[in-house]
Structure 1
Amino acid sequence: MQFGIFSVGDVTPDPTTGRTPTEHERIKAMVAIALKAEEVGLDVFATGEHHNPPFVPSSPTTMLGYIAARTERLILSTATTLITTNDPVKIAEDYAMLQHLAEGRVDLMMGRGNTGPVYPWFGQDIRQGIPLAVENYALLRRLWREDVVDWQGRFRTPLQGFTSTPRPLDGIPPFVWHGSIRSPEIAEQAAYYGDGFFHNNIFWPAEHTRRMVDLYRERFAHWGHGTPEQAIVGLGGQVFMRRNSQDAVREFRPYFDNAPVYGHGPSLEEFTEQTPLTVGSPQQVIERTLSFRDSVGDYQRQLFLMDHAGLPLKTVLEQLDILGEEVVPVLRTEFAAGRPTDVPDAPTHAGLLARSQAAS
């Protein structure tokens, strides 16, 4: 089981002080958070991809390449790589290069994003979002797996005798997760290829998450990749912790109430009841996270959103200390207990390479 954090890279005013960090401060903070994640023993750091204010991570490979040079074991991932508006050729090249620089500590999550205007900014039509995701990913897979590609499709110029460089490290493409909140077509795409499915369930009730993951598991088995229980599943989550749950609620409330994504809507209490957001003590976070298995079965990756809504860097680093020292060790033990032996671990470059060598 892999545990980590993901950042959307929002630049949001701190509602308790009124101060807004500069873009430079926010970018440097994301790096500091990634380094802290490795320090406290987490497995994964993932960054979003956005091309509009108030977000800063428009170039994930640049950030992850810098972090790769300053870490030793952290898996570097994306919380969304825009498969719809990025050219598959550029994705193939950029992430293969990152894979080499990071000695294989790379995977990525394909998604369509949640910002409609990004489509025309990159010359695409939002009404073609799903077809773009399907066609672009089909091409990306070929670019990583075939040395010479001839290809023609609907959304980009044809390729004739094209070779993407550099080739994937050890001939093993980065593992791909397909991220979706509400699109069954994306769950089907992940299942068809035997890739991972990441349900970023931070805004959704457990029943919706269960339906999406069940669909993916059923289709994973239908396409012959294994049993439903062997499908590769990841989940998102949001937490804020203090030793005393009342202190956590009191401190987090102004950030929740003013957050761009859910502020001025349901109350904090309503939101924590209806979604995976957990605000309380470390023990409450442990119990809530363990309950996710009741909804989706044994799964492989759990990522938490912790640096959003204007929370200052000092507070986020304190949260990571608690997560790494008190929460994740217990979660590792508890999730491992009773885990069936045929449920696979989360894919890594080393594991995929070993499997490839054993099959050859």
Structure 2
Amino acid sequence: MQFGIFTVGDVTPDPTTGRAPTEHERIKAMVTIAKKAEEVGLDVFATGEHHNEPFVPSSPTTMLGYIAAQTSTLLLSTSTTLITTNDPVKIAEDYAMLQHLADGRVDLMMGRGNTGPVYPWFGKDIRAGIPLAIENYALLHKLWREHVVDWKGKYRTPLQSFTSTPRPLDGIPPFVWHGSIRSPEIAEQAAYYGDGFFANHIFWPASHTQRMIALYRERWAHYGHGGADQAIVGLGGQVFIRPNSQDAVKEFRPYFDNAPVYGHGPSLEDFTRETPLTVGSPQQVIDRTLGFREYVGDYQRQLFLMDHAGLPLKTVLEQLDLLGEEVVPVLRKEFAALKPAHVPDAPTHASLLAARAAASDQQEVPVA
């Protein structure tokens, strides 16, 4: 099972001091956080994509390429690549380039984002959000798998004899997750292609996430990719850890209360009761995370949001030490012991390359 962190890249004042980092400081901090994630033994670092304040990661491939040059094992991903407002041709080329630079340590998560005004900024109509996601991904999927593409759709100009460059590394496109909070159409899309489905259940109760993943698993099996329990599932969430749970709650409360994503609403106590947000000791985080399996089944990727809401860089790095040293080793062991042998791991470039080689060898075996 993969464990990692994702960032939304918000520039938020620290509510305990009133000081906000500069954009430069925040961008550099995200790089430091990614490098720390590898240092403490995590598998994945993912960045969001935003084109509005108070967020800074408008160019994920630029950031991930810079991080790739300073890491060696970390899998680089996105927690949202805007499939609706980005040109699929540019996504195909940008992420293939990143894949080469990172020697295959790349996958990405498609999403529609959570900012309505981004649609007209990029010449799109928000009312076509779902159709855009469906059509644009169909084109992206084709561009990565066919050398010469002829294509015509509703939302962009046609392509005639077009080849995106560079081609995917080793002829294997980056693995794709489809991220959604509430849209069953996206779960259906992920299942249709045999891609991963990432449920960022940071806002919703367990019952909602359970329904979304059950739908994805059912449709995955319907499309013939394997058993429902073999579907590729990822979960998001946020934790704040201190050795003592009371200290964790006291320290995190002002950050939660002022968070741009979910502050100024329900109380911290209500939110931690009704959603997967966990604020407490390492053991509480372990117990809560292991409990996710009870309602989503065996899954392949768990990402945590660690740097949201103005938390100082020093605090985030301390959180990563606790996560890497006290939480994730236990989770790895416990999840591995529970997972049946027929449930696959999350695909990586190396595993997809090996699977292709194995399939080729099998085809070459003569039939007696």
Shorter-chain-normalised TM-score: which range? Answer: over 0.9
Paired position in structure 2 for 1:120: 120
Counterpart code for 2:253:
R
2:267 aligned partner: 267
1:300 matched residue in structure 2: 300
Root-mean-square deviation (CA, aligned residues, Å) is 0.4
Deviation track 1:188-232 (CA, whole Å, cap 9, x = no partner) reads 000000000000000010000000000000000000000000000
Determine helix, strand or coil for the equivalent of 2:338: coil
User: 1:199 maps to which residue?
Assistant: 199
Q: Distance in 2 between matches of 1:306 and 1:147?
A: 40
Structure 2 CA distance for aligned equivalents of residues 324 and 211 of structure 1: 30
Using the alignment, how far apart are the partners of 2:261 and 2:72 within structure 1? 34
Indicate the residue corresponding to 1:287 in structure 2. Answer: 287
Kindly indicate whether residue 21 of structure 2 is the aligned counterpart of residue 7 of structure 1: no
Q: Which residue of 2 aligns with 1:240?
A: 240
Q: How far has the Cα of 1:312 moved from its partner?
A: 0.3
Amino acid in structure 2 at the alignment position of 1:43: D
Match of 2:168 in 1: 168
Cross-structure match for 1:336: 336
Rounded to whole Å, the distance in 2 between the matches of 1:43 and 1:196 is: 17
SS at match of 2:56: coil
Give 1:327's aligned residue: 327
Would you say 1:96 and 2:96 are equivalent positions? Answer: yes
1: CA distance, partners of 2:309 / 2:113: 19
Write the distance in 2 (CA, Å) between the matches of 1:271 and 1:78.
Answer: 25
Distance in 1 between residues matched to 2:139 and 2:162, nearest whole Å = 12
Instruction: Give the structure 1 partner of residue 64 of structure 2.
Output: 64
- In structure 2, how many angstroms separate the alpha carbons of the residues matched to 1:14 and 1:153? 46
Name the CA distance, whole Å, in 1 between partners of 2:177 and 2:37.
Answer: 21
- SS for the counterpart of 2:3 is strand
Q: Secondary structure at the match of 2:238?
A: strand
Shift in Å, 1:276:
0.4
Q: Deviation of residue 264 (structure 1)?
A: 1.8
TM-score (normalised: structure 2): 0.97
Amino acid at match of 1:301: R
Q: CA deviation at 1:182?
A: 0.4
The letter for the 1-side match of 2:299 is: Y
* Cα displacement (A) at 1:179: 0.1
CA distance in 1, matches of 2:186, 2:337: 31
Q: How far apart, in 2, do the equivalents of 1:337 and 1:273 lie? A: 27
Question: Where do 5+ consecutive residues of structure 1 fail to align?
Answer: none
Distance in 2, matches of 1:265 and 1:328, equals 30
SS state of the match for residue 237, structure 1?
A: coil
Unaligned runs of 5+ in 2: 361-368
Deviation at 1:262, TM superposition (A): 1.8
Q: Deviations over 1:116-142 (max 9, x none)?
A: 000000000000000000000000011
Aligned residue runs from structure 1 range 206-245, under 5 A: 206-245=206-245
TM-score normalized with structure 1 length = 1.00
Letter in 1 for 2:130: I
Partner of 1:42: 42
- CA distance in 2 between partners of 1:357 and 1:99 (Å): 19
Which amino acid in the other structure matches residue 351 of structure 1?
S
TM superposition outliers: structure 1 runs of 4+ over 2 Å: none
Shift of 1:338: 2.5
CA distance in 2, matches of 1:70, 1:264: 38
Match in the other structure for 1:251? 251
Q: What CA distance in whole angstroms lies between the structure 2 residues aligned with 1:336 and 1:261?
A: 33
Structure 2 distance, partners of 1:148, 1:82, is 24
Q: Shift of residue 358 of structure 1?
A: 1.4
Give SS of 1:202's match.
coil
Kindly provide the amino acid, as one letter, of the partner of residue 176 in structure 1.
V
Q: CA deviation at 1:306?
A: 0.6
**d(CA) in 1 for partners of 2:26 and 2:134?**
33
Write the deviation string for residues 93-149 of structure 1: whole angstroms up to 9, x where unpaired: 000000000000000000000000000000000000000000000000110000000
- TM-superposed CA distance for 1:261, in Å, is 1.8
Query: What is the alpha-carbon distance in structure 1 between the residues aligned to residue 262 and residue 52 of structure 2?
Result: 18
Taking the aligned partners of 2:61 and 2:270, their CA distance within structure 1 comes to: 37
SS of the residue corresponding to residue 337 of structure 1 reads helix
Give the AA of the match of 2:309.
A
CA distance in structure 2 between the partners assigned to 1:265 and 1:79 by the alignment:
24
Alignment partner of 1:160: what SS?
strand
Q: Per-residue CA shift, 1:1-48, capped at 9, x if unaligned?
A: 000000000000000000010000000000000000000000000000
2-structure distance, mates of 1:262, 1:237: 13
2:146 corresponding residue in structure 1: 146
Separation in structure 1 between the aligned mates of residue 190 and residue 257 of structure 2, nearest angstrom: 35
SS in 2 for 1:240: strand
Letter in 2 for 1:77: S
